[in-house]
Structure formats: C-alpha cells, structure tokens
Amino acid sequence: MQAKAAESLLAFAEQTVPGLRGLDGQATSAKIEQRYSELLGALRWFIDERRTDEALRLASSLAPFWMATKRLEEGSEWSDRALASPDGTDAARGETLFQAGLLAFWRGDDDRAFALHDHALAIGRRIGDPTVTAKALTGLARIALRRTGVDEARRLCHEALAITEGTADRTGRSNALHVLGVTAQMAGEFLEARKLMSERIALARETGNYATIGLEASNLAMVERQLGNLDQAEALSREALDISYRRGDDWATPLMISGLAAVATQRGELERAATLVGAAESLMEAQGFEWPPDERPHYERVVAILAEAKDSDELERVRVAGRAMTPAAAVDFALGPRA
C-alpha cells in the first residue's frame, strides 16, 4: 500500500463512519463493509510504518463500526496494536483509549475497560482536553454501575459535566447526561431521570444523531413505565425500535423489544410479553452482548413474572417460539397491533 492510498482511506473512514448514527446507518455500514479489507490494510500500513497518529485516528474511527457489526474482539485487537505503537499525539491516543475501553466494556471485560478508560482520563487531564476527560469519566462511570454502584457513577458524571460546562463539547456532555439519567432511573428518581434523558434527546436532535435519539427514547420509556405512564412508555419504545431497526442497529434492537415486553407485562398481556422477551433473548445471545446493568433488572422481572404465572408452561412454550423468530419477524411482531 502506498501512503496516498492509506491517507485516502483514513479520510474515508473519518468522513463516513459518523453516518452510522443517522437513519441511513444500514447504507453507511454497507459502504464501509465494501472497503473494510482496504481499511484494515491501511491500518496495518500505518502501524508498520510507525505513523502512529494516523493509526490511532483510524482505529478510533472504526470503533463504532466494530461495535455496530459485533466485531468486538477484532476491534479490540486492532486497537491494542495501534495503541502499542510509539509516539502519536496525546489527543489521538486518549480518544483511542476511550473507544478501546468501550469495546472491552461491551465484551464484559471490565478490568480491561477500566484500565483503558483510566489511562484516557490521565491523558485528558494532562492535556486539558474536556472531551477526552469527560468521555473517560463516563466510561469509568459505566463500569462503576456494575461494580460499585450508583453513587460512584454519579460522582464521575457530575465531574464530567463540570469539566464540559461552558465549552464547545457536546459528546462528553451527552455521555455524562446518559449515564446520569441511567443512575437516576436505577435509584428510583424518575422525575430527575426524565429531565436528564429529555435534555440528552434535545442535544441529539441538534446534531441529527438518531442513534442517541433511539437509545435515549428507550431509556425514557423505562422511566415512564415506572411512573405508570404505559401509553407514553409504549409510544417511546415503539419510536426507539423503529429508529434502531431502520438504522440496522442490531445492538439496540433487542433492548427496545425487551422494553415493549415489560410494558406488556405490566398490562397483563403475558403471552405477548413472553413472545417479545424470547425474541429479545435470542437477539442478545446471537450478538454475544451482556444485558446492561440498568436493563437487566427489568428483563429479569419480566422473566420472573412469566415463570410465576398460572399458565407458566404455556408461556414458556410461547417464549421458546419467540426465541425462534427471525430479527425481522420479531420487529414486525413488536411494532404490530396488540392482541
């Protein structure tokens, strides 16, 4: 590979990958997929030629694609190779450390994720970069939700908000609002969670970030459901599922389906809930993802209610049928009319 070709591929990745956040995410993913082997060749060339800054930038750019296409192990390996290269700017290294930390987090490797985010935090603080610092803090906050609980996660996110206050940063602040909203929901502070999640949706609408709009609508649906607003919760979950499926977001889709299962459970529509939760389980297992800490209690509650129901054997049969659905059939059922 020649330098000019590698540089052109880096520019392609940096210009194209952000499109994964839009409604045309599937088309964007297909465009990247067509050139994926070339992109890996460019990444390898940058590493071999010790052009570390470009290697770090390309690894960071590809991280959302690796997550969207379930290439978590592969993405982690390439990120580690780029990070092992000497030199490079601190800003590029900090961003790559953060993205590599997310890849490790979604693989369930919290120890590795913590080390990567902590290193990114040290760099962000040293160079005074609010975005790298805030993103690293929110990465650590996600791990805290699994390990040490809500209070530590909140402390980290409030620090991230303070660092980004009055700056041009949007990404780090959005991440902090997301985790704070999750912690408020987990702590039962539903009105505060609604406020934080609504603010994040508004930020996402400013930039046309449909990935965030869909995910946060799903989180807000969880809050409205616990406030007893089932119609609003269902409307938000349907909107979130429609966005995620149109975008081809395989990671988010089962979370939205699980949210609709929880709504059906609260309405006493247990057969519908069993079908939906079975479909969500199958999609999660196919992707090798862990249930997020804020989602798992709600999923487990649905499963427990189905197991304790009078007709639990029949509901289990329905749940198994849900697990056998194709992704398209599961989404059609979830968005279709209630019985």
Q: 118: domain CATH number? A: 1.25.40.10
User: Is residue 219 situated within a structural domain?
Assistant: no
Task: Kindly state whether residues 185 and 96 are assigned to the same domain.
Answer: yes
* 184 and 248 housed in the same domain: no
For 185-221, how does the pLDDT look when each residue is reduced to its tens digit (9 = 90+)?
888 999 999 999 998 898 888 888 898 999 899 999 9
Look at residue 187 and tell me if it is in a domain: yes
The helix, strand and coil proportions of the chain, stated in percent and rounded to the nearest 5, come to 80, 0, 20
Give yes or no: residues 94 and 81 share one domain. Answer: no
Residue from 101, 99, 119 nearest 110 by CA: 101
15/103 same-domain check: no
218 burial class (0-12, 13-18, 19+ CB within 10 angstroms)? buried
Same-domain check for residues 111 and 193: yes
Among 55, 86, 117, give the residue marking a domain's end: 86
* Domain-embedded: residue 290: yes
Q: Which domain holds residue 246?
A: 227-339
Residues 180 and 150 in one domain: yes
Residues 6+ apart with CB under 8 A from 189: none
Same domain, 117 and 50: no
CA-to-CA dists, residue 82 to 2, 126, 288, angstroms? 19, 21, 25
Q: Specify whether 232 is located in the same domain as 147.
A: no
Q: Are residues 81 and 114 in the same domain?
A: no
Q: How many domains does the chain have?
A: 3
Q: Is residue 121 part of a domain?
A: yes
Q: Evaluate whether residue 213 is within a structural domain.
A: no
pLDDT of residue 339: 65
As a whole number of angstroms, the distance between CA 56 and CA 210 comes to: 26
Residues 196 and 262 in one domain: no
> Do 111 and 198 lie in a common domain?
yes
Query: Which pLDDT value is given to residue 68?
Result: 85
Tell me, yes or no, whether 221 lies in a domain.
Answer: no
The segments of the chain whose pLDDT lies below 50 read none
For residue 216, is it within any domain? Answer: no
> Which of 181, 208, 235 represents a domain boundary (last residue)?
208
Could you say which of 19, 51, 86 is where a domain stops? Answer: 86
Report the predicted TM-score, pTM, of the whole model to 2 decimal places: 0.77
Question: Is 174 within a domain?
Answer: yes
Domain shared by 281 and 244, yes or no: yes
